[in-house]
Amino acid sequence: MAAAAAFAPVSQVFPFLNPIADRYLYFILPGLIGGAIFLLVDLRGRLGAGPAVVGSAAAVAAGLAVVFAFTSADRAKLWTNETLLNLDAARHFPEGGSAAFLAARRAAQQGDAVAAVAALRKAADRGVDRFTMVMNDRGLAPIRNTPEFRALIYDMAGRWIERAAQREDPSVPDLRVMAHAHIVREEYAEAEALLERALRAGGPFESVVRSDLATVRGHIAELPAPGGEAGPEKGARHRLQQP
C-alpha cells in the first residue's frame, strides 16, 4: 500500500508538463523494501530456512548495500557540475544529444561555426533544443554573432513556437517562452500579443510579464516608421529576463 500510494502521484494518469525524473521514484522505495522484507520472512517460514541460510542472505544484502552506497556517492558528484553530467552522458550515449552539444562546443572554441551549428542541429533533434540555453551558453560564445548561429536560433525558436502552440491552455510561463521565441525571430507584434494575454491571466509572474512587455514595446518603437524613419528609441538596447 505504501509503494502504491507513493507511485500514484507520479503514475502519469494526469501527465506532467515536464518528463518524469528518477528522483520521483525514490519515494516508492520504502514501500518496496518493506514489502520485500515481509515476502522474505514469509518465504523463510514456508521453506523452513535455517539460521545459516538467513545469515548468508543477510550478508549478501549488506554487501549489496555497501556497493550501492559507494556507487551512489560516486554518481552524485555528476549533479554538482553540468559539464560532468554532459561528459558522462556523452560517454554512455555517444550518439545522444549531450554528445552532440559537447561536439558543438569544441567546434565553436575552434571558431568553426559550420561544424558547431551542424552539431547543434543534431543535438536539437535529440532533445537539446531549448533556444534560450543555446543562445546564452558560454562555450558557444565564439560563434554567437555568425550568420550560421543566428539562423540556427531562428529555426530553434520557430520549432519551439510550433510545439507550444499545440497546447490547448498554455500557462503564463508557456506564453512567456513563446513570446521570447518570437522576439528572437524579431516578430514583435506576435510577442506583444502573447505577453498581453499572459498579463490578463494574472498570477505571480505579473511583474515579470510587465517588464517583458515594456521591453517588447521598446523594440517596436525602434522599428522604422512607415516613412522609413526609425522610432525615437532607435539604437537603445533592451534585455529580457530569461524565462
pLDDT (tens place) for every residue of the chain, 243 residues total: 888 888 888 887 877 666 656 777 888 989 998 888 888 888 777 777 777 777 887 888 889 989 999 998 888 888 888 888 889 989 999 999 999 999 999 999 999 999 999 999 999 999 888 999 999 999 999 999 999 999 999 999 999 999 888 888 888 988 999 999 999 999 999 999 999 999 998 888 899 999 999 999 988 888 876 555 444 343 333 445 555
* AA letter at 54: V
Q: What share of the chain is helix, strand, coil (3-state, %, to 5)?
A: 70, 0, 25
Question: Does residue 9 belong to any structural domain of this protein?
Answer: yes
Q: Is residue 128 part of a domain?
A: yes
Question: Which of 214, 218, 213, 217 is closest to 234 using CA atoms?
Answer: 218
Half-sphere exposure of 160 (CA within 13 A, CB side): 27
Q: CB under 8 Å to 152, separation ≥6 — which residues?
A: 117, 120, 121, 134
92 and 136 within one domain: yes
Full-model pTM: 0.67
Give the integer Cα–Cα distance in Å for 213 and 240.
9
Look at residue 19 in the predicted model and tell me its pLDDT: 60
Co-location of 134 and 173 in the same domain: no
Q: Does 5 lie in the same domain as 39?
A: yes
- Within a domain: residue 4? yes
Q: Is residue 148 part of a domain?
A: no
Q: Render pLDDT for 158-191 as a digit per residue (tens, 0 to 9).
A: 999 998 888 888 889 889 999 999 999 999 999 9
Say how many domains are in the chain.
3
Residue 70 maps to a domain = no
Q: Are residues 188 and 137 in the same domain?
A: no
Instruction: Print the domain residue range for 117.
Output: 80-143
Both 172 and 232 in one domain: the answer is: yes
Residue whose C-alpha is closest to residue 112's, from 153, 149, 157: 149
Judge if 178 and 139 occupy the same domain: no
- Which pLDDT score is estimated for 227? 55
228 and 176, same domain (yes or no): yes
> Is residue 61, in this structure, part of any structural domain at all?
no
Residue at 125 is within a domain: yes
Q: Is 52 part of any domain? A: no
Taking CA 157 as the corner, what is the angle to CA 156 and CA 161, rounded to the nearest 5 degrees? Answer: 120
Mark whether 125 and 173 lie in a shared domain. Answer: no
